[in-house]
């Protein structure tokens, strides 16, 4: 799978998880935010923490 496709799928997963405005997040930030929401953290808080 290409990097663009992988990044697109991560962005879609983030969108489905309620993490809005994820277009400027890196792949690592997206993975971190998704991991945090998986542990029960609020989507926007997970986004903020991942971007630090």
Is residue 49 within 8 Å of 36, Cβ to Cβ? yes
The pLDDT value recorded for residue 1 is: 59
The pLDDT value recorded for residue 16 is: 96
Could you list the residue range(s) of the whole structural domain that residue 46 is in? 3-50
Dihedral sign for Cα atoms in the order 35, 20, 17, 11: negative
C-alpha distance across the termini of the chain, in Å? 28
The pLDDT value recorded for residue 52 is: 87
Overall number of domains in the chain: 1
pLDDT tens string 3-45: 899 999 999 999 999 999 999 999 999 999 999 999 999 999 9
pTM, entire model: 0.89
């Amino acid at each position: 799978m290409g990097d663009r496709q992988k990044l697109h799928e991560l962005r879609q997963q983030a969108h489905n998880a309620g993490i809005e405005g994820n277009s400027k997040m890196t792949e690592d930030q997206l993975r971190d935010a998704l991991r945090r929401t998986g542990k029960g953290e609020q989507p926007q808080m997970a986004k903020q923490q991942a971007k630090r």
